[in-house]
Each structure stands twice: as structure tokens, then as C-alpha cells.
């Protein structure tokens, strides 16, 4: 059986791989129904030594303390931090916080001004081991990922790897 994953090219030639488990989690929340609410969570995974390729192994799911509506998703910080800490401990310190994901009810997702402001805020305030965080938006037809390096304010959209 063939594994399903998405590969994206990063600006300096490295890859970002959205592994099957994470991809299936995210696509299960796409807003295909007119009443579907936005959903989101965190991207967890690892950076491969020697190549700096990134593997997103897992996407967390919304929890009961998150706030969701048709055009918004606000993640509960306390519940999210607990999930990150548990993943870190259960993985013997190999599973890292790599960024955030959420859905949009549009075919090809584009980050809103609010999304961009939030991403910049996260890159300034979050504790993360790498120099970059990733932000994924799942639209109805496409999944897009942006990266922001520590200290930068402009997200860079990653392209699908050939």
C-alpha cells in the first residue's frame, strides 16, 4: 500500500514533508459543508540531522476549549502547551513544535491579515528549537504552507516539490 504524503520545497533547497498521519488529520477537518467551522491545531515533528529537511509527523486536533466559527479559529494556549509537552516526553525529546495549521472555507487558501499578524506574534513569543516555524492553511482544493524565520516578518510560501 502506497503512503500518502505531501512534499514542499523550502527556500534553501531543503524539503518539508507532511506525513500521512498529519495530512489525514488535517484533511478530515476541511470545510466542505456550508456550516463547517474552521479547525486548527499544531504541527509536530522533527528536523532530520544533516539535511535540515523537516518531517511533520502529526497535526493536533481542535479541543473543547478552542473557539471555532465559520471564519475563525482560536486555539486554547493552555491545552495546546500540554499537548506539546506530552509529545516531547513520549518521543524521548525528538518530537518538536513546528508551527500551526488551520482551515479556510475557500478553494485555494490565502492568509488573512489577521493570520499574518498572528503568525508574526507566534514566531516572536513561542518557544521552538529551530530557527523557523511553519503555518499551514487547508483550503477546499489545496493545502498551502508558509514559513517564517525567527526575526523576519514576511511569510514565505513553500511550493510543492517536484
Domain parsing of the chain, residue ranges: 6-160
Query: Which among 119, 128, 125, 126 is positioned nearest to 148, based on CA atoms?
Result: 119
Q: Which CATH code fits 6-160?
A: 3.40.140.10
**Which residues fall within 8 angstroms of residue 26, CB to CB, at 6 or more apart?**
18, 59, 101, 103, 136, 138, 143
Per-residue pLDDT reduced to its tens digit, 116-158: 999 999 898 877 777 899 999 999 999 999 999 888 889 999 9
Which tops the pLDDT comparison, 21 or 64? 21
pLDDT at 160 over 90: yes
Query: Which among 109, 96, 97 is positioned nearest to 138, based on CA atoms?
Result: 109
38 is catalytic: yes
Query: What is the value of pTM for the model shown?
Result: 0.91
pLDDT of residue 92: 66
Helix, strand, or coil (residue 54): strand
The pLDDT mean for the chain works out to: 89
Q: Which one is catalytic: 21, 38, 106, 142?
A: 38
Per-residue pLDDT reduced to its tens digit, 78-95: 677 777 778 777 876 677
Amino acid at each position: 500500500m502506497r503512503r500518502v504524503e505531501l512534499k514542499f520545497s523550502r527556500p534553501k533547497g531543503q524539503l518539508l514533508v507532511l506525513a500521512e498521519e498529519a495530512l489525514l488529520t488535517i484533511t478530515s477537518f476541511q470545510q466542505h459543508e456550508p456550516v463547517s467551522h474552521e479547525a486548527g491545531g499544531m504541527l509536530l515533528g522533527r528536523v532530520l540531522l544533516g539535511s535540515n529537511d523537516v518531517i511533520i509527523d502529526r497535526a493536533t486536533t481542535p479541543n473543547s476549549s478552542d473557539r471555532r466559527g465559520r471564519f475563525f479559529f482560536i486555539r486554547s494556549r493552555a491545552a495546546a502547551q500540554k499537548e506539546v509537552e506530552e509529545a516531547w516526553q513520549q518521543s524521548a525529546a525528538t518530537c518538536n513544535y513546528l508551527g500551526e495549521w488551520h482551515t479556510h472555507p475557500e478553494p485555494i487558501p490565502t492568509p488573512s491579515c489577521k493570520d499574518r499578524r498572528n503568525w508574526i506574534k507566534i514566531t516572536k513569543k513561542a518557544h521552538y528549537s529551530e530557527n523557523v516555524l511553519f503555518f499551514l492553511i487547508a483550503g477546499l482544493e489545496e493545502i498551502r504552507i508558509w514559513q517564517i524565520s525567527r526575526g523576519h516578518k514576511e511569510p514565505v510560501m513553500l511550493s510543492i516539490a517536484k
